[in-house]
Amino acid sequence: MLNKKFLTMGFISTAAALSLLYSTSLFATVPQEPTKEASRLQALAKFTKVLGIVEKYNVDDITLQELIDKSLQGLMTNLDAHSTFLTKKSFENLKVQTDGEFGGLGITVGMKDGVLTVIAPIEGTPADKAGLKAEDIILKINNKSTLNMTIDDAVSLMRGKVGTPIDITIVRKSEAKPLHIHIVRGNIKIQSVYTKQIDNDILYIRVTSFDKKVVDGVKRALNRFKKKDKGIILDLRNNPGGLLDQAVGLVDLFVDKGVIVSQKGRTKSENQVYNATSSATITKMPIVVLINGGSASASEIVTGALQDHKRAVIVGKKSFGKGSVQVVLPISEDEAIKLTIARYYLPSGRTIQAVGITPDIEVDQGEVKTQGTNEFMIKEADLKEHLKKELQKDSGKVVKKDTKKESKDHIITQEQLQKDLQLKEAVGIIKALIITKG
């Protein structure tokens, strides 16, 4: 059919028609696709060409080394919100943070919906005292816009010499206008585990971040109070995460078998499963876990694992949703890349990444609203013939109990519960679980 077409054209010679027929047939039967290696060379050639053009014609004089660094930063930040190229300065900052003591504000930040967001302020730090909250969006740092700023650049700006001031401009959902917050940098030392008592039979454990001391700290508290207490409230609100092994170890104290968390990456070597062990389990007491929008990463692993094993009731607000694994890979003596290599999955197979943990019982943060005092209500004591002796006996016991002040710093009072609606709800739930367990 093709030959007939060529013959009827008139202005194409037979030789030309045969030549075109041969070429057409060749390409139709054996497509000439570039090899993988050839594609890599073409891509690198394109990259080199663009670098050369920018270096030669860009309005500002810029060195090739600067261009390479900017290219690497753009490459890493476009992979995902947590991957980044660490220059010499940012790599040094990361090492300082790992040492656990530095001058700064005391907040953990991340990229959420493309904007720089406070994951959580660290308890007792300058940022916490100044009023920064989880989910605050940081617009400016010392009047410098955070638009298109990397996390590491933002951290570098916020970290500095102890005692020096810094101004942060934030957007908060509950506020109509941006807020300007003045903070003086402090020496950031993190105490990761706090314990207190509620009503003599409930152990309150607050974990602020997952450093290397968390499992030991919680284990000591459990061993100290397990004969006395009947229930546990584990407070992971505003906990930005930390070390994976500490998250796994914490769950292992409460769960005696089954998967705690698994991670899956592109290569099989990155796939791992972390299981609970009966030898590490300390207690079977009922647990309530408190979370909010500042609970991220390791704290979400703990919460999700306890929820999937039906080992705890989760109370509060939906968590942040960071379920990815990053590693720092040096590329020279003073530079490195931080690369996302895997995602975390909970025992049920569900992911945390960009989804977060939804509480079993959602409770807003705030104070407990009361209907006023009982000043004008008639009680038994107001009746003419009430049992005075019994009342005196009981009131004597109450007075005696209130005069004990030694352990006041280690208890959570009713007044404090009234100021924390989520914690008060948690106390009510744990009491119900204690009664149910008998």
Active site residues: 297, 308, 322
Please state, in angstroms and rounded to a whole number, the distance separating the CA atoms of residues 135 and 114.
13
d(CA 272, CA 260): 11
Torsion over CA of 153, 154, 156 and 159, rounded to 10 degrees? 180
Nearest to 312 by CA among 219, 192, 217, 433: 433
Beta pairing partners, 329:
337
C-alpha dist (Å) from residue 77 to 119, 135, 161: 19, 21, 28
Token pair for 224: 């100290």
Q: CA 256 to CA 190: how far, in whole Å?
A: 30
- B/e letters for 396-406, b = 16+ CB within 10 Å, e = fewer, are eeeeeeeeeee
Q: What is the DSSP-derived secondary structure letter of residue 173?
A: T
Other C-beta atoms within 10 Å of 279: how many? 7
| Distance of alpha carbon 204 from alpha carbon 296, whole angstroms | 20
Whose tokens are 């940022």? That residue is 127
Euclidean distance between the first and the last CA atom of the chain, given in angstroms as a whole number = 90
Residue type, 215: V
Cα–Cα dist 259/346, whole Å: 8
